[in-house]
Amino acid sequence: MPLDPLPWSQQESDTELTLTFDLAIYSLEAIQRACYWLTDRCYAHIETPSPEQARVRLVLKNPSESLRDLAGDLGNRVLDEQLRRQISAETQAVRDLIVAQAFAEADLEESREGDYNEDHEGIGR
Amino acid sequence: MTGPLILRQGQRIGRQRFSGREAFRSVSAYYLLPFRFERFCGNEVLVVNDVGEHLFLTASDFARFTGHELRSDEDVYLTLKGKHFLADSDSLVPVDLLAIKARTKRAHLEGFTKLHIFVVTLRCEHTCRYCQVSRVTQDRKRFDMSEAIAHRAVEFTFRAPAERIKIEFQGGEPLLHFERIVQVVREARAKAAATGRHVDFVVASNLALLSDEMLEFFQQERVSLSMSLDGPAFIHNMNRPRPGGDSHEVAIASLTRARAALGADAVSALMTTTRLSLDHPRQIVDEYVLQGFHSIFLRSLTPLGFARRTAPRIGYDIDRFLRFYEEGLDRVLEVNRGGYQLVEVYAQLLLTRMLTPYSTGYVDLQSPSGAGIGVAVYNYDGDVYASDEGRMLAEMGDKRFRLGSLQADSYDEVFGGTRVRELVESSCNESLPGCSDCAFQPWCGADPVFNYATQGDIVGHRPDSDFHRKNAFIIRHLLELYRSDEGVRRIFWRWIRGNTIGDPNAESTT
């Protein structure tokens, strides 16, 4: 016997469901990233009917797959993606510092005037 | 008393002479250092920082860690601090240390192209079922590399600033054009001596045509051999037809002679997994032991060229390959437990990336990918390709990864052009969709040529990607094995030490 759909999802048909996310809790980017990882299993469409909400419509590629599992996976993935966005925002400045420090001695092209065709390193000679 | 009491050292409340326990608890004001995470079953979370150091946390500790709720006297706090997942002072020491490790992890980028593949001929006397490129033909002029092209390719090779250069001869069957191998070795030796560089040579061959004259030359010039060995005779001969149907017998006879002339370590072997192989992982591993090899690379079929055409007959899906890999690796570990040292090369590469600060030179496990910057392929006709797979695609009529021509273009145009730049930009997994947030990102790589061949786009689509599926599965499997068994840990570390004692940055496609 099939399980009931998750209460926060709206089943539109045997292969389609809609989930609504509160943008005060989840960022649109987190929702987009979570949807990306499900695109091997479903077609995804995201819209924002209001500034406070994002609505995700998913249509199964394989009709034998469980819509309930899909809805559950999306909900959990969005949570993790949201946390990833928070960690990323919190650590971005340090990450930039580490990369800058790691390659401080590298002769990066951006630091030069002119372009690579001038062959500063004499590689072409 | 009502309400919460906040006690500070030295405070006295009423008649209480000493402060409460809370007064002596370290205040934990920490900040997070960059990391990624992945949930594992069993309520565990894997955290991996940007330089590949990792820890498993309980879901509860992970939530407290990311919520800044850990106390500084907790073991988990100290472990996270020691492994550079958090810092709690204004000191820049953690940043300095992470920067050094980040640079070490990318040491393979230094020196630019280290591996130079010379396709001296496209001719071959085998008609392997999975071969992408070979031609059975007598038309030497059409499919052999000319002296002038070989000379120009050597010039290009030594324009690369690498201190240590590796030249690999491929085909077709390169021994069919032995005179070109001789020319390239001699010219490269002279160039290396003149420029103070070191050059290594390897010939990738089925060994069927290995003559005493060739062996003598290889011995003099310290040229090593990489032979094809797909498993025991019934698999090898089925995969690699040749007149007489005796590819395995001929190869093993040549192997014995080659070892006697060049030394046991001078001959390595490479296998390709076909559908027939899938049911016989133990026999394939045992064949490598029987023939005295100490490494085996359980490789999946490259879905290019003729292999793509014959996929319905000899191909398989990636999940079937992964079951084969798992069984094969189990057998390799059994062999090691029995006292015979046998390394599974893909596991060795990944473990080196996962458990040490070192980088590895394997082209497909790098970010950016080694295509065009770690490896260059000089085709028999003078075209230059970003990778061997790029050359194979060209043989199917798609020259997407042709960087230029030895005859018509300068070194700058070939290696500084838009093609190479596009490949680099599209293969930094730090910024690829799906990879940028993946906990395995510092251990994994990118393969734009594979993405293009299988998905029609060099960036690729991770949820459907066999490259992603394979690496994610194998990394998880290695982590589980490593954590489950002290004996396996000892074996893995022996493999890693063998790798890092050698040259971890030596570029390779094998």
Question: What would the pLDDT profile of A10-24 be if each residue is shown by its tens digit?
Answer: 888 999 999 999 999
Q: At residue B386, does pLDDT exceed 80?
A: yes
Residues of chain A in contact with residue B464, where contact means CB-CB under 8 angstroms, are: 39-40
Q: Based on the domain organization, do B38 and B174 belong to the same domain?
A: no
Residues 79-98 of A with CB under 8 A from B: 80-81, 83-84, 86-88, 90-92, 94-95, 97-98
Give the confidence band of B9 by pLDDT, cuts at 50, 70, 90.
very low
Q: What is the mean pLDDT of residues B64-83?
A: 95
Spatial separation of the C-alpha atoms in residues B274 and B288, rounded to whole Å: 17
Query: By the 8 A CB rule, do B453 and B309 touch?
Result: no
A43 touches chain B (CB under 8 A): no
What gap in Å lies between CA A11 and CA B12, rounded to an integer?
A: 62
Q: Is B397 found in the same domain as B295?
A: yes
Residues of A whose CB is below 8 A from B437: 33, 81, 84, 88
> What ipTM was predicted for this assembly?
0.84
- Check residue B219 and give its pLDDT: 97
pLDDT at B125: 82
Q: Pick B124 or B506 by higher pLDDT.
A: B124
Whether B419 contacts B372, CB under 8 Å: yes
- B75-82 and B59-66 are packed helices; what angle lies between their axes, rounded to 10 degrees? 70
Chain B contact for A39 (CB, 8 A cutoff): yes
pLDDT the model gives residue B6: 39
Query: Do B132 and B75 lie in a common domain?
Result: no
Report how many domains make up chain B: 2
Identity of the residue numbered B413? E
Chain A residue closest in CA terms to B411: A124
B410 to chain A: which residues are within 8 Å by CB?
124
CATH number at residue B132: 3.20.20.70
Q: Rounded mean pLDDT of B373-394? A: 94
Q: Which pairs from A51-54 meet CB under 8 Å and 24+ separation? A: A51/A23, A52/A22, A52/A23, A52/A24, A53/A20, A53/A21, A53/A22, A53/A23, A54/A20, A54/A21, A54/A23, A54/A26, A54/A28
Give the mean model confidence (pLDDT) for residues B206-225.
Answer: 96
Q: With the CA atoms of A82, A86, A89 and A90 taken in that order, what torsion angle do they form, in degrees rounded to the nearest 10?
A: -170
Report the pLDDT value the prediction gives residue A42, as an integer from 0 to 100: 97
Residue B432 lies inside a defined structural domain of this protein? no
Residue B41 lies in a domain: yes
Question: Is residue B74 predicted with pLDDT exceeding 70?
Answer: yes
B102:A98 CB<8 A: yes
Examine the domain organization and report whether B265 and B388 are in the same domain: yes
Beta strands in B213-271 (DSSP E): 223-228, 267-270
Residue A110 has pLDDT above 80, yes or no: no
Residue B464 resides in a domain = no
Give the C-alpha separation, B165 to B188, whole Å: 10
pLDDT surpasses 50 at B150 = yes
Residue B346 lies in a domain: yes
Beta-bridge partners for A50: A53
Pair B67, B50 in one domain: yes
Q: Are the beta carbons of B120 and B133 closer than 8 angstroms?
A: no
- Say which residue the tokens 């016989």 belong to: B280
Q: Which helix (H) or strand (E) holds A43?
A: strand A42-50
For residue B340, is pLDDT > 90?
yes
The interaxial angle of helices B281-290 and B318-337, nearest 10 deg, is 40
Q: pLDDT tens digit string along B26-43?
A: 556 899 999 999 999 889
B84 with B116, same domain: the answer is no
In this structure, which amino acid lies at residue B315? G
Task: State the pLDDT confidence band at B503, using cuts at 50, 70 and 90.
Answer: very low
pLDDT at B507 over 70: no
% residues pLDDT > 70 (chain B): 88
Q: What is the mean pLDDT of chain B?
A: 89
> Where would I find the beta strands (DSSP E) of B399-473?
402-405
B164: three-class secondary structure by DSSP? strand
Q: Is residue B344 part of a domain?
A: yes
The mean per-residue pLDDT over the stretch B219-242 comes to 94
- How many other CB atoms are found less than 10 A from the CB of residue B238? 18
- Tell me whether residue B509 is in a domain: no
pLDDT digits (tens, 9 = 90+) for B416-431: 999 999 999 999 999 9
Indicate whether B94 and B138 sit together in one domain: no
Residue-wise pLDDT tens digits, B246-297: 999 999 999 999 999 999 999 999 999 989 999 999 999 999 999 999 999 9
Predicted pLDDT of residue B37: 98
Phi, then psi, of A98 in degrees rounded to 5 = -65, -45
* pLDDT exceeds 80 at position B412: yes
Q: Can you read off the two tokens belonging to residue A57?
A: 């419509």
Quickly state the pLDDT bin for A116 (edges 50, 70, 90). low
Q: Does A13 touch chain B (CB under 8 A)?
A: no
Domain end position, chosen among B90, B105, B120: B105
B149 and B50 in a common domain: no
The verdict on B114 and B100 lying in the same domain is no
Q: Choose the closest CB to A36 out of B96, B415, B434.
A: B434
Q: How far is CA B491 from the centre of its chain?
A: 19
CB distance B410–A124 less than 8 Å? yes
Q: Which residues pair with B224 in a beta bridge?
A: B202
Taking the Cβ of residue B410 and every Cβ of chain A, the question of whether any pair is shorter than 8 Å is answered with yes
- Do B434 and A40 lie within an 8 Å CB cutoff? no
A8 in reach of chain B (CB within 8 A): no
Task: Determine whether the interchain pair A94/B161 forms a contact, defined as Cβ–Cβ distance below 8 Å.
Answer: no
Q: Which residues in A lie closer than 8 A to residue B415 (C-beta atoms)?
A: 123
Record the pTM. Answer: 0.88
Same domain for B322 and B178: yes
Does A53 lie at the interface with B, CB-CB under 8 angstroms?
no
**B412 vs A: CB within 8 A:** yes
* Domain edge (last residue) among B39, B73, B105: B105
Tell me which DSSP letter residue B123 carries. B
> Contact, B389 vs B127, CB < 8 A?
no
Interchain CB contact of B98 with A (< 8 Å): yes
Binning pLDDT at 50, 70 and 90, where does residue B11 land? Answer: very low
Based on the domain organization, do B65 and B166 belong to the same domain?
Answer: no
Residues B220 and B239 in one domain: yes
What integer pLDDT is reported at residue B106 of this predicted model? 87
Confidence of residue B243 (pLDDT cuts 50, 70, 90): confident
Cα distances from A27 to residues A20, B8, B463, B493, in angstroms, run 12, 40, 21, 43
Give residue B19's pLDDT band: very low, low, confident or very high (50, 70, 90): low
Both tokens of A61, joined, read: 């590629």
Beta bridge partners of B376: B116
| Residues B144, B242, B226: CA angle, nearest 5 degrees | 65
CB within 8 Å: A40 and B463: yes
Residue B453, domain member (yes or no): no
Pick the residue with more confidence: B158 or B240?
Answer: B158
Is B15 a domain residue?
A: no
C-beta separation of A12 from A19 below 8 A: no
Compare B508 and A95 and report the one with higher pLDDT.
A95
Per-residue pLDDT band at B17 (split at 50, 70, 90): low
**Range of weakest confidence among A101-115, B114-128, B311-325, B453-467:** A101-115
**Full residue range of the structural domain in which residue B314 is found:** 109-427+480-504
Does the beta carbon of B161 lie under 8 angstroms from any beta carbon of chain A?
A: yes
**Which of B72, B88, B105 is where one domain is finished?**
B105
Q: Does residue B36 belong to the interface with chain A, where contact is any CB pair within 8 Å? A: yes
Higher pLDDT, B339 or B7: B339
